[in-house]
Structure 1
Amino acid sequence: MRLRERGADGGEFTIRAGLVVVAGGRSSRTADWLDELGSPAPVTERIDARLGYSSRYFRRPADGAATWKAMCRRGPRP
C-alpha cells in the first residue's frame, strides 16, 4: 500500500500489509478512490454500533462561572 503524508510537502512511502481496515465512516471516499485507481471493490462489512449523537447550543446561566470552558450533559440510559 502506498501512502502519502498530508500537506504539500508530504512524503510518499509504502507499507506491506495483509489486512487494511478503513474505519472512515459513512462519508469515507476510500471506495471511490480505489475505483478511480482501477482497483477492485474491497470486501466490506458494516457493523451497527447502535450509537447516535446530537448537539445543541446552550446559553450559560447569567450567574454561571465565567471560567467555564465546556459543559456536558448525559441523557438517561435506555
Structure 2
Amino acid sequence: MQLLINIPDSLANKIIQILNVFKSDGLEIVRKIDRSEESLPKYSDEYIEKNWKELIMTIKSDTDYHKSEQYQLDRGEYLMEKYK
C-alpha cells in the first residue's frame, strides 16, 4: 500500500525520524518532489526573450526522479488523464 502525506518542511525531519523506526519492518520512505506551479519561478515574456540562453544553461535533468518509482506513477497518472 502506498500513502502520500503532505508534510510541512518544518515537521518533515521529525516525521521521518519517527518513520525510520519502522524501516526494519519493511517501510520504505520515498520523497516526492513538489513540482507544482507555485514552486516554479515566474518570468515575464520580455525577460525570457532577453535571457533565454542563460535560462537554458541553468536547466538540468533530474535523473534521480526520472529513474524513480514516483516518476513512473506520475507519468502513468499523466498519460491516463491525457488519453481519457
Report which of the two structures shows the higher radius of gyration computed on alpha carbons: 1
Normalising by structure 1, report the TM-score. 0.32
- Higher relative contact order (CA closer than 8 Å, sequence separation 6+): 2
Normalising by structure 2, report the TM-score. 0.30
Structure with the higher fraction of residues in strand conformation: 1
Structure with the higher fraction of residues in helix conformation: 2
